[in-house]
Structure 1
Amino acid sequence: MKLVRLLLSVALVGGVALAQQPIIKNGVRFVMAQDLVKASVQGGVRTEDFIQSPRAVQTGDILREEITVQNVKGRAISELTVGIPIPRETVLSGSVTPDSARWKVAYSVDGGRTYSPKPMQEVKAMENSKPVLRQQLAPPESYTNVRWTVANLAKDETLKLSFRVRVK
């Protein structure tokens, strides 16, 4: 399995979004972008506008974290894995795309050490007046990383991977 671990993060520093320059690693070109999502309703129709690389964000703002993945190797790439940390001072909020039969999406709650499509976490509970640890589904607010895995990325193929976060 070929693992391309990409630790791209779009940091929020003093409320300002900082994007990174394109990176080429193992024959794959990665470009990270962060857009502020502005939703509005016009004539009863909900629309979204995207402000690229916003200069400032506020608590409650929704951001789209998007990574463009392009195969520049000259041949197909097998078992491509792309993992991205969820930016600090944000929480996962909304869909992760693509999530299909072709791309498998998994999440981490431990900083990217382990991944699962449905991460679990230990919680303390009382059973027969004794404290016990139980496993339960982790809430999306506890996710720290998103990872996509594809069996095959064709020669010259380009895909856009994205997820949304809410600023804390």
Structure 2
Amino acid sequence: MKRLPLTLACLLASPGAWAQSPPISTTQPRVQFTLTQDLVRRVQQGGQDVEQIVPNVKTVVPGDLLREQISVKNVGGETLRRVFVGSPVPRGTEFVGEVTANTSRWRVEYSIDDGRTYNAAPRRTVTVSENGQTVTREVIAPVSTYTHVRWTVGELGPGKTLKFAFRVRVK
């Protein structure tokens, strides 16, 4: 079976989020990001099917399920408002969902156009044949077409850490 090297995705934070907080030295970091990629395995334990997380796996094979987990910590002394935390879906994988969602503290959105636009339910235009006529309409894009995931956090207090995760399958 072919083994694929595991590559880390890049994280994005909105500079605009930093601009909305009181000014501080631009040489001091205000947000610290950590990305981990863990293998998700289904195993039998006590007669039940449970998930086992294998941390920091070095190689994967097609069909493997991975958890992309992003930790974001406010290392500055001020509360940050409207912080964007995002990640592309890693190359060689397909988004399968199971996103960390908490609508009261943050909003999650997806992109199907390499991060140019985001929406909670991205739509794409399709052309179909109905009753012998060609019809163009917008439909909700399948999750397998998502290229990026982004969370918008209302506020992140000093010293606070949040964790976000989504899952992908290796192609």
**TM-score of the aligned structures, taking structure 1 as reference length:** 0.83
Structure 1 residues not aligned, in runs of 5+: 1-13
Task: Give 1:122 deviation, angstroms.
Answer: 0.7
* CA offset digits 1:56-93 (Å, max 9, x no partner): 11111000001110001111000001121001111112
More displaced 10-residue stretch of structure 1: 129-138 or 153-162: 129-138
Moved more, 62-71 or 88-97: 88-97
* Aligned residue type for 1:18: T
Once the 2 structures are TM-superposed, how far is the Cα of residue 148 of structure 1 from its aligned partner? Answer: 0.1
Note the C-alpha offset of 1:110.
0.5
**Preserved contact between residue 8 and residue 90 of structure 2 (Cα < 8 Å):** no
Instruction: Note the 1:15-164 alignment, pairs <5 A.
Output: 15-19=4-8, 27-127=30-130, 129-164=132-167
Checking the alignment, whether the CA contact within 8 Å between 2:12 and 2:86 is kept in structure 1 is no
* Bigger Rg, which one: 2
Q: Which moved more, 1:19-28 or 1:141-150?
A: 19-28
Where structure 2 has 5 or more consecutive residues not aligned to the other structure, the ranges are: 19-29
Task: Give the partner amino acid of 1:95.
Answer: E
Aligned-residue offset at 1:152: 0.6
Residue 11 of structure 2 contacts residue 86 of structure 2 at CA under 8 Å; is this kept in 1?
A: no
RMSD (Å) for aligned C-alpha atoms = 2.3
Cα separation, 2, equivalents of 1:156 and 1:66? 19
Q: Do the aligned residues in 1 keep the contact of 2:10 with 2:88 (CA within 8 Å)?
A: no
Question: 1:138-160, CA deviations, whole angstroms, 9 ceiling, x for partnerless residues?
Answer: 00000000000011111110011
> In the superposition, relative to structure 1, how do residues 105 and 72 fare at CA in structure 2: closer, same or farther (>3 Å)?
same
Q: Deviations over 1:16-65 (max 9, x none)?
A: 11347999985110011101111112123332222222121111100000
Conserved 8 A contact 1:28-1:72: yes
Distance 1:149 1:60, change over 3 A: same
SS at match of 2:60: coil
Could you state the TM-score of these two structures normalised by the residue count of structure 2?
Answer: 0.82
Tell me how far apart the structure 1 counterparts of residues 92 and 153 of structure 2 sit (CA, whole Å): 29
Within 2, Cα distance between the matches of 1:46 and 1:71? 37
In terms of fraction of residues, the more strand-rich structure is: 1
Contact 2:67 2:167 in 1 (8 A): yes
Give the letter for the 2:82 counterpart: E
